[in-house]
Amino acid sequence: MNKVKIISWNANGIRTRMKNKDTDFIFESEPDIILFQETKAEYEQIDKKFLEECGYNYYFLKGESARTGGLATFTKESPKIVKSFFNESKDALRRTSVLEFNDFILIHIYAPAGTGNKAKLVEKLEFFDELLKLAKKFADKKVIIGGDFNIAHTENDIFDINTKVTFKEEERKVLDDLESLGYVDTLRLFNKDKIYSSWKNQEAKENNEGSRLDYFFVSKELVDNVKSSEILVDIDSSKHAPIELNLE
């Protein structure tokens, strides 16, 4: 397998991040694949000159509205297949892109937050039910699942274990179930400590009061190819830090 570098980031508005040049460091580091969540934009709204000159293929999924959701995937290699896994009835928010390459399958997700009311939590769990079905289908293949899961899995993934946000037992079980299928949380191959990728504000980040909501999972067939996995905690322009995965 050739070297592959992937960066994923909940950008909280990709046009703002680009306007402020916050995304420059990502493109300048020339990863093979870039995953953006919560873009709040369609490709028609992105600077056309940038798209023509960036050197990447790009695939956008529209969010729930102009103020929420949206995925953008940039790839140097052209995938063999690109699709939104769920149909409109199952995934009205269009939160999943599946890209099949020669060496692996990439599932790019931005999970619903599941907060506000019971219906939102049900929507989130239904999303993950479908994702787990897909993960099971592909479990014996080389698969990467990356993005914002909106779940803090363990006590080492959250500052306040008593919070009712992103740390509900039924949400955490989703990631237990994913691991039971043979998928591995790549960061935990290298770092077992408390570490976070999301904070409610800059003060919380400075006080190390956050949660880890952003993940790269790989199937058991890819574990031996993982060379590094980390959170780029020095990036401050979004409430989330980018995460990086390197394979070889």
List residues with catalytic annotation.
148
Position 35, amino acid: L
**Spatial distance between the Cα atoms of 126 and 149, rounded to a whole number of angstroms:** 13
Rg of the chain over Cα atoms, rounded to whole angstroms, equals 17
Sole residue written with tokens 């397998």: 1
Q: What is the number of other CB atoms lying within 10 angstroms of the CB of residue 116?
A: 8
Of 185, 192, 194, residue with least CA distance to 223:
185
- CB environment 143-163: b (16+ within 10 A), e (fewer): bbbbbbbbbbbeeebbbeeee
CB-CB contact of 29 with 244 (8 Å):
no
d(CA 113, CA 179): 21
